[in-house]
């Protein structure tokens, strides 16, 4: 006979347990067909692990999340995405793994049935245990309960031995105990240090990149491990009024020529912008922006040099984002993090491409006014405000594994603020980690290139004359943890990035040697 045990109260006789449960607001208590005591309750928080290694793995994940929501499983947090070597049965394709936190009114066995239906709908059939599967959905935790029955065990019995389960679980929970439910989940580990202590015992963060497990971002039908090296994003402005190169690339021919040059110089990503976001720039309509963008985007996507490279579109309009992705763009780069178009997050959910969310207060016309330049602690406030935008994106349905964060150097920041952000990237990650470990692991993009604060510090009024200072700022940023640098001068910054990456690899190897 199976049992379901509530860990928030002492063990009692069944009639006393019923009274206790009703006191908590549960509507009924009944025996499931397999003799397990089943709860129909108010919302319970759950953790569900996802895995896939058959077919289009990313599509399987996307469809599973969509079906979960339709089944009454309200997803509130996403872990990072991991590509991992198969466990137990090793002669099979590599997996992608992640996990989500959610709330549901479904009882534990109802939840299991819903997940099994999703697995079946996505093509899973009975096969060898631990063998290949299009989707695998496991309940790791259900409220404060332990469940033991013929068909269900919660907590999942193999959590503690599986790094590919523990890594996404820690993304969701971190080391902070943010509720009684999370405290109970930590107690289930049986480790004095809770789940985080158990994760460290397994090897913790040192396992990422080792043991066949990599933290990845899906982009352009592949998985990008952004920790391997820093990516260089070359800027292509199609605007007549950009602060650095406005009017230089308004014809399709000149724009394509510039893209070819940047790629030949080592650019990994081309970021195309058709609307200026310099201070006090006038806003143009989505229609006008598309008129500038689409001819160039189509031409760029057709040249052979762009094969193997990524194309990003810099826009805060959801309509432009949607049209750009339909024409082949791989990334959307939004300086407003969804603030200037309330439809952006909703549209991005279905576009299924990485989304760069940047910190900015106000809009280009107001971002440098006195109110938007007030900070007591710029790194803490940027972290908090950027986290809030990303959380809203995540709650809208954009998985954390598709988000890139940008602290917005030069946007609604004075010169000293931009310097604090540039040198405080580790602090920004640390502050975000207090709220979400998953979001703190997201790739970080910085864009100091030719910005006014560099000119003020170096007494260089001309934007192009700020290239040496840009190289210096990129160097500081990469050594501080930036994963993508957005620059006008690709050639010199590629060299700076290569040197920084070599320094970081050397430092990492020395640390591993000492360990």
- Catalytic residue positions, numbered: 451, 486
Phi, psi of 218 (to 5 degrees): -75, 125
Place of tokens 């990524």: 310
What tokens were used for 457? 């510090």
- Calpha distance 442→5 (Å, rounded): 37
Shortest CA distance to 290 belongs to which of 249, 318, 259?
Answer: 318
Residues 6+ apart with CB under 8 A from 179: 45
Strands 213-219 and 81-84: antiparallel
- Calpha distance 382→150 (Å, rounded): 50
Residues 6+ apart with CB under 8 A from 99: 47, 48, 49, 50, 79, 140, 165, 168, 169, 171, 172
* Cβ-contact 347, 322 below 8 angstroms: yes
Residues 6+ apart with CB under 8 A from 41: 24, 25, 26, 27, 105, 107, 143
Beta bridge partners of 44: 104
Between the alpha carbon of residue 240 and those of residues 154, 277, 284, the distances in Å are 60, 12, 12
């Amino acid at each position: 006979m199976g049992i379901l045990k509530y860990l928030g109260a002492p063990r009692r006789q069944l009639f006393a347990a019923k009274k206790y449960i009703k006191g908590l607001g549960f509507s009924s208590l009944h025996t499931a067909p397999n003799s397990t005591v089943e709860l129909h309750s108010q919302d319970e928080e759950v953790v569900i692990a996802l895995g896939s290694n058959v077919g289009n793995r990313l599509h399987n994940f996307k469809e599973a999340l969509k079906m979960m929501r339709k089944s009454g499983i309200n997803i509130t947090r996403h872990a990072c995405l991991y590509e991992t070597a198969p466990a137990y049965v090793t002669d099979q394709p590599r997996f992608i793994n992640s996990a989500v936190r959610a709330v549901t009114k479904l009882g534990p066995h109802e939840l299991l049935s819903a997940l099994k239906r999703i697995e079946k709908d996505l093509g899973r059939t009975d096969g060898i245990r631990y063998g290949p599967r299009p989707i695998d959905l496991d309940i790791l935790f259900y409220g404060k309960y332990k469940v033991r029955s013929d068909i269900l065990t919660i907590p999942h019995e193999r959590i503690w031995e599986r790094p590919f389960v523990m890594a996404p679980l820690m993304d969701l929970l971190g080391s902070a105990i943010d509720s009684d439910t999370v405290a109970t989940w930590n107690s289930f580990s049986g480790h004095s240090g809770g789940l985080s202590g158990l994760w460290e015992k397994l090897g913790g963060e040192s396992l990422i990149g080792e043991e066949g497990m990599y933290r990845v971002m899906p982009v352009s039908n592949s998985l990008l491990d952004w920790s391997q090296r820093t990516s260089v994003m070359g800027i292509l402005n199609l605007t007549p009024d950009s602060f650095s190169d406005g009017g230089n690339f308004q014809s399709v021919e000149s724009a394509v020529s510039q893209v070819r040059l940047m790629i030949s110089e080592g650019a990994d990503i081309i970021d195309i912008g058709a609307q200026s976001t310099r201070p006090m720039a006038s806003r143009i309509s989505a229609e006008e922006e598309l008129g500038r963008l689409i001819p160039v985007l189509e031409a760029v996507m057709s040249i052979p040099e762009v094969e193997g490279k990524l194309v990003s579109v810099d826009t805060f309009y959801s309509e432009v984002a949607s049209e750009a992705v339909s024409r082949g763009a791989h990334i959307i780069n939004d300086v407003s993090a969804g603030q200037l178009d309330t439809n952006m997050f909703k549209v991005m959910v279905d576009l299924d491409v990485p989304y760069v969310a940047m910190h900015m207060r106000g809009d280009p016309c107001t971002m440098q006014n006195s109110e938007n330049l007030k900070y007591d602690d710029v790194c803490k406030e940027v972290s908090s405000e950027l986290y809030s935008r990303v959380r809203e994106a995540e709650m809208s349905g954009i998985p954390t594994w598709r988000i890139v964060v940008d602290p917005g150097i030069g946007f609604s920041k004075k010169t000293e603020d931009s310097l604090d952000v540039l040198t405080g990237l580790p602090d920004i990650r640390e502050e975000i980690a207090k709220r979400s470990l998953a979001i703190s692991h997201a790739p970080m993009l910085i864009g100091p290139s030719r910005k006014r604060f560099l000119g003020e510090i170096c007494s260089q009024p001309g934007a192009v004359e700020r290239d040496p200072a840009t190289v210096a700022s990129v160097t500081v940023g990469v050594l501080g943890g930036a994963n993508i640098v957005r620059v006008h001068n690709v050639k010199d910054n590629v060299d700076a990035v290569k040197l920084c990456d070599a320094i970081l690899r050397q430092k990492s190897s020395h640390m591993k040697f000492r360990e």
